[in-house]
Structure 1
Amino acid sequence: MALRILFLLGFLFGCLFARTSQIAMAPVSGSVWFRGPFETGTDFPFVFSAFLFDSLFYALPIFLFGMTFLGVLVIPAAIILKGFTLGTSLTALIRLEGIGSYFRRCFDYLPMTMLCITVLLLLAAEALCMARRSCRVFFGNGEPLSVKNCTVRFLLAFAALVFISILYGALHFLILQI
């Protein structure tokens, strides 16, 4: 629950930042996800790789820092940053393209984004628990960590993110064909 609140706070701060910014922002600067969908004629490999890269950009550090005591600080910061970049990008999109373009993208972009964020939050919750255990081990009053469990959870999250990225790329490709 705390990670969801941090994500929403980051999202709100991102929206406020983009809304009050004096310089016009392009959605491309906020998130890699917007590069594919808003260039006309983009192909499936580009959209798939951009969407997957942006998902793994947060998932990989969360996984790696989840096995260290530093994860207690880095994981919440990564969740806040994810919310901030998403809020900034969506608000910049509305400012640049208008509300019509935003609603048009709600049907292909936002459902897949919500799935990725759900996977990311679940991974972050597991990684944060591991980081807390790692803190106890580091300070001498805990049991050793099981790297195998961490790796299996990350691989499951990675597989889910790849599957969601394939769905998003295919959905975007089908929408361009229509």
Structure 2
Amino acid sequence: MADTDIKIADAGAAGWIANSIVCLMAWAYLCGFVDSKALLPMALVSFGCTISYLGAGISLIKLGNVVGGVTWLYFASFFGFANGLTYALNYFAPIYNWVIDPRILGYEWATLGVMLIFTTPVFLKYSPAAGTIALIGADIGVCALALVYLGYASKFMVLTSAWGLFITGIFGIIMAGGLILEGAGIKFPMGRVLLK
């Protein structure tokens, strides 16, 4: 007989932690603070972040939060796992003289950017300010990255993507910390909901 008293907790903070790590690594790489020798460690960390994204997504789906759950699940697929594979591919391609056309990734990132823009009103209405600011940073960073992959790789566009992702990473840390502390009954200022 199944135990109907099993409680499910919101593991969304784990998704925010993973997302902050992924975004801050991308920021450092896009800004040139690290070079292509960082791609393999970035791949491995992205694979690790997939686990946190999945945990966050599954917990929120079970709690009935479709927007949060679906968001963390597709982040697991693309920001975590596919990103890890792409970093590894970009690390090994020059070593083994593989010829790849990275423009195809522009279509992936454009799709992700559009999906993030679709969820922005939900964040504006229901999320603390830190979460909304993080998402708006992701809107900018991901859409700019799509344009970079599609061939519009000016320094301005690369840095726009980098700094949008930086904002996402920093405000994601605030969200993660706030949610963890809130789970322990400690209030942490994440900001008010921006749209009433």
TM-score, normalisation: structure 2: 0.37
Greater length-normalized contact order (CA 8 Å, ≥ 6 residues apart): 1
